[in-house]
Structure 1
């Protein structure tokens, strides 16, 4: 039996609640499958740790994570701490040194969930957004000078390297090639960003030559928001910069019914470091402790983790359980317009896993 070491980092807010729900579902899957086991180690890294010690994670945190097969992450952020401090102190402090350069965000309309788009059918919205996850607008380059003075200045430098752009383009083309439609849209803003995103466009063109079976097009990011809402069926696989994909994937989640169901995989495709899986909804302190957080985004993220680990059968079983849960309106949490609680959804998912007939 294969045993996978998984680091669980619940983080803040509802992250703590949904990660615990996700671990219960994963344990049920491991018991049901019988072919693998999970060795879970929990880490109390987050805002509470920062208040105690002045750091969201220990100095050797990344090195401690390297020995794991995967990471399940909840959320980071608290109302009393600056968002840039918590993001750079935990999530990005893990993603960047572990070189998780491909952020993958699937989006589709799950059974029982209604899209806010008028007249759209589930088959019209089935996307995977690939987000460049290591440089671009979130490279962390820049600074501030003359603080507090009238001439105070702040710079935020977007970094685009040939190596970084080429590897995310190649990843996106390969992903598009693996999907039935073999269709890729490259998002850009090269009309205004005439250096970094012109390089982005040029490398997309170069990489495309290696994938003649993939149909691809290019779309300015502002026009992309219109296309996503008016012509969702024209899209399949999407690749965009760190900032653009961050924004577009939230729009995608909303169009699919709720940000509470949306998953993320932060992938190191080389396998030389663990990849990290998380829901995209954030810490949501407005509903923390109420027991109404939607755990489906975490369940879907866990399915992506299992697939990444090579447990495709367990991943498919979990997705079937997710779809059985969402198909029942009585199991919809408030973000989906229902009254179900986190524990109701979790219990139903576990029952679906245990009760499935081969």
Structure 2
């Protein structure tokens, strides 16, 4: 029997609540498709930092390297200064585990209402591939004359060919496995040096993928095109900062951050991927049963797809979409708005798990071009 060893970092706030439901659904998929999942919990997050003053220690990092994948619930707590957990845990893990690629699906499911007027599921099914370890997030900076009228802040951006190439290569492979269209999103007319590097890497890599159509859109123009004509995009590849911004805009199209999943991947396959919903920890509703676990379940589906269990991943996605449609207008935040017992965190998780056992993935679209199928084909890159 196939077996997958998962590290589980429930984290803070609603993180443990939604992660528990994601694991319930993974177990249902394992039962249906004939594989086994083992899990190891890790004490990482606000409570650990408040108790020990440690966001991430080397011993934990080494143990995490030994797993097949990592499920992360959420981090963030008002008792912890901003940046401590976000940079000290999440970003630190991305760097330590060589997660050069961040995958953010943007898909509007049937029955979910988008705030974008007249947007239909047929028009909204794309993937944003974001470079995950460099750019302004990793360049550092300095401030002089702080606290005076002459305060000057310098923030550096670092872009290297190896990390950019790894990200772009993964994006091309993903595009080839889907609809064979790739769009570079940058600001080459202003960020000339970084833009030249990204453009050259895309052009160089594109020679190896002559069957993939290439395009380019400025980052500011993307913020207009994405809400109005998302159907023009299939795979969008971009840098760290622009990817952070446009992927959240994409989440709005699909119904809100409460439905937004993500994957952090080392495209060489040398380190485990980390899969997390991007809705935040929402500590004010932790333990109340009001957190929608859909994004955590969809992140677990990305995890299974990356591990090669694409049939199970498709079933997990289709089951989640079916339950979202049953919820009526569909949630647009992590907070469900109904009072019935079946619409609690555990109630929604149980319903998704029940659907996993017999759902037909084709009910929400062609599995052949699904991200879940594509990720199963794009597990590693040539060295």
TM-score (norm 1): 0.94
Please report the RMSD computed on the Cα atoms of aligned residues, expressed in angstroms: 2.0
2:185 is matched with which residue? 187
- Which blocks of at least 5 consecutive residues in structure 2 are unaligned? 362-383
What is the CA deviation profile of residues 34-56 of structure 1, one whole-angstrom value per residue up to 9, with x for unaligned ones? Answer: x2111100112001111100012
CA contact (8 A) 2:315 2:360 kept: no
- Tell me the distance in 2 between the aligned counterparts of 1:334 and 1:119: 16
- Tell me the distance in 1 between the aligned counterparts of 2:211 and 2:176: 7
1:100 is matched with which residue? 99
1:215 is matched with which residue? 213
- Tell me the distance in 2 between the aligned counterparts of 1:225 and 1:204: 21
- Corresponding position: 1:154 with 2:153: yes
Q: Secondary structure at the match of 2:356?
A: helix
1:271 is matched with which residue? 269
Change beyond 3 A, Cα 1:91–1:304: same
- Tell me the distance in 2 between the aligned counterparts of 1:257 and 1:159: 33
Per-residue deviation, 1:150: 4.8
What is the CA deviation profile of residues 7-48 of structure 1, one whole-angstrom value per residue up to 9, with x for unaligned ones? Answer: 000111111211111111112222233x21111001120011
Change beyond 3 A, Cα 1:168–1:152: same
CA contact (8 A) 2:291 2:336 kept: no
Farther off after superposition, 68-77 or 210-219: 210-219
| Equivalent position to 2:350, from 342, 347, 350 | 347
- Tell me the distance in 1 between the aligned counterparts of 2:213 and 2:224: 21
Q: Which runs of 4+ in 1 moved over 6 A?
A: none
What is the CA deviation profile of residues 158-179 of structure 1, one whole-angstrom value per residue up to 9, with x for unaligned ones? Answer: 1011222122112111211111
Per-residue deviation, 1:288: 2.4
2:2 is matched with which residue? 2
2:365 is matched with which residue? none
CA contact (8 A) 1:331 1:345 kept: no
- Corresponding position: 1:317 with 2:315: yes
CA contact (8 A) 1:186 1:238 kept: yes
Change beyond 3 A, Cα 1:225–1:346: same
- Which blocks of at least 5 consecutive residues in structure 1 are unaligned? none
CA contact (8 A) 1:105 1:263 kept: yes
1:172 is matched with which residue? 171
2:48 is matched with which residue? 49
Q: Secondary structure at the match of 1:264?
A: strand
- Tell me the distance in 2 between the aligned counterparts of 1:82 and 1:217: 41
Per-residue deviation, 1:240: 0.9
CA contact (8 A) 2:258 2:331 kept: no
Q: Secondary structure at the match of 2:305?
A: helix
- Tell me the distance in 2 between the aligned counterparts of 1:158 and 1:140: 5
Aligned pairs for 1:182-331 within 5 A: 182-329=180-327
- Tell me the distance in 2 between the aligned counterparts of 1:320 and 1:209: 35
1:28 is matched with which residue? 28
2:124 is matched with which residue? 125
2:73 is matched with which residue? 74
2:61 is matched with which residue? 62
2:113 is matched with which residue? 114
2:135 is matched with which residue? 136
Per-residue deviation, 1:78: 1.3
What is the CA deviation profile of residues 200-225 of structure 1, one whole-angstrom value per residue up to 9, with x for unaligned ones? Answer: 12222222222221111111100100
Per-residue deviation, 1:261: 0.9
TM-score (norm 2): 0.88
Per-residue deviation, 1:141: 2.3
Farther off after superposition, 298-307 or 57-66: 57-66
1:19 is matched with which residue? 19
Per-residue deviation, 1:332: 4.5
